[in-house]
Amino acid sequence: MNWKAAATIVFGLILAACAPEKEVPSSPPEPVEAVLDVPDGADVGKEVIISTTVTQDGKPVDHADEVKYEIWKDGYKETSEMLDAVPKNDGIYTVSKTFNEKAVYHIQVHVTARGMHTMPKSSLSVGNTAPSNLEEEEIHHESE
């Protein structure tokens, strides 16, 4: 081996030894959590405020990549509508919606934040309607 090759190898080893060590995460990041807050009921033609509190490790997530509300009438998921949430303070995102028909509606919030996605779901009875067991029946039939 000539002296230039040996010097190059030694110099490379010295540089490698001086390079900063990469930090290895000790554990995976805490999941992003979304708590969907839907009123117990609503009147036909009245505005309803729906909110979601987004947190990670107990701390508010104020800059989620995306928060959208998917809303559909019971039995009509294929005609759902997507509404963009309005960010508030302390990890709270809201949307206002007026329901013009007496029915049970399903509300699912789609939250994407810090490389994670969560989709909690709830129901809202508009005009004193009772939730149907339609979705439970569908789930039951699929598992048989």
Instruction: Give the pLDDT mean for 123-143.
Output: 58
What percent of the chain lies above the pLDDT cut of 70?
72
* Span 8-62, pLDDT tens digits: 665 555 656 665 666 666 788 899 999 999 999 999 999 999 999 999 999 999 9
- Confidence label for 4 from pLDDT (cuts 50, 70 and 90): low
pLDDT (0 to 100) of residue 137 = 39
pLDDT (0 to 100) of residue 28 = 83
**DSSP 8-state assignment for residue 44:** T
Query: What's CA 14's distance to the chain center, in Å?
Result: 47
3-class DSSP assignment, residue 110 = strand
Q: How is residue 135 written in tokens?
A: 């979705």
CA distance 52 to 34: 6
- Whether residue 22 lies inside any domain: the answer is no
- Whether residue 61 lies inside any domain: the answer is yes
| Residue whose structure tokens are 């067991």 | 133
- Whether residue 4 lies inside any domain: the answer is no
- Confidence label for 143 from pLDDT (cuts 50, 70 and 90): very low
- Whether residue 72 lies inside any domain: the answer is yes
CA distance 106 to 70: 8
Q: Which residues contact 144 (CB under 8 A, 6 or more apart)?
A: none
Residue ranges making up the domain that contains 89: 32-143
CATH number, position 129: 2.60.40.1930
The values of phi and psi at residue 111, to 5°, are -115, 125
- Whether residue 139 lies inside any domain: the answer is yes
- Whether residue 1 lies inside any domain: the answer is no
